[in-house]
C-alpha cells in the first residue's frame, strides 16, 4: 500500500491502471530481449538481462487478469533481496494521491491477481499491487538464470 506522500508511477494493462511507489523502482526502459521456457510460473514471461542482472519478467496483464496487449515498457522493481521486471502496455505518468482515496479491494474483485487497493482517479480505476503476492509468483531465486 502506498504511504502518504509517496510518488506513484502509473502503468497500464488493459482497462486497469496500476500504481507503483517510485521509491521501489530501479528504472523504466524499453523491453529487453527475453528468454523464455516451457513450464514457467503463471504470469512469468521469462528472464531478461538488465544492466548485467538476470531478472524474472512478469506480465502486468496476467497479474491483473487483463487481455494480452503489446508490451512497450519494462519497469524494474526493487524489493529486499529480489529485483524483478514488470512488463506493461504503457507507462502513463507519475503522481501522488491522498491516502483517503485508496480503499481495500472489494471481495467481488479479489480475482484481480496481486491487486491490493483500488481508487477512482479522474473517472478511472487505479490499483496498487501487493508486492508480497507478486513475489510469490516468482520461481525460487536460485532457479533464475539467463
Annotated domain spans of the chain: 8-137
| Cα–Cα distance measured from residue 141 to residue 143, given in angstroms and rounded to the nearest whole number | 5
Residue 91's Cα: distance from chain center in Å? Answer: 11
With a cut of 60, say whether residue 3 has pLDDT above it: no
Which class in CATH covers the domain with range 8-137?
mainly beta
Say if pTM beats, i.e. exceeds, 0.85: no
pLDDT tens digits, one per residue of 52-110: 999 999 998 888 788 888 999 999 998 877 899 999 999 999 988 777 777 776 666 66
With a cut of 70, say whether residue 46 has pLDDT above it: yes
Contact 74, 30 (CB under 8 A): yes
Amino acid at each position: 500500500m502506498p504511504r502518504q506522500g509517496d510518488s506513484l508511477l502509473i502503468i497500464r494493462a488493459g482497462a486497469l491502471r496500476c500504481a507503483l511507489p517510485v521509491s521501489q523502482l530501479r528504472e523504466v526502459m524499453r523491453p529487453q530481449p527475453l528468454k523464455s521456457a516451457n513450464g514457467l510460473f503463471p504470469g512469468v514471461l521469462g528472464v531478461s538481462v538488465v544492466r548485467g542482472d538476470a531478472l524474472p519478467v512478469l506480465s502486468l496483464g496476467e497479474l491483473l487478469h487483463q487481455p494480452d496487449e503489446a508490451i512497450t515498457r519494462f519497469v524494474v522493481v526493487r524489493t529486499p533481496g529480489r529485483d524483478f521486471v514488470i512488463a506493461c502496455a504503457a507507462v502513463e505518468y507519475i503522481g501522488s494521491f491522498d491516502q483517503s482515496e485508496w480503499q481495500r479491494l472489494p471481495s467481488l474483485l479479489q480475482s484481480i491477481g496481486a491487486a491490493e487497493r483500488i481508487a477512482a482517479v479522474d473517472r478511472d480505476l487505479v490499483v496498487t499491487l501487493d508486492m508480497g503476492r507478486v513475489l510469490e509468483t516468482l520461481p525460487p531465486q536460485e532457479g533464475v538464470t539467463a
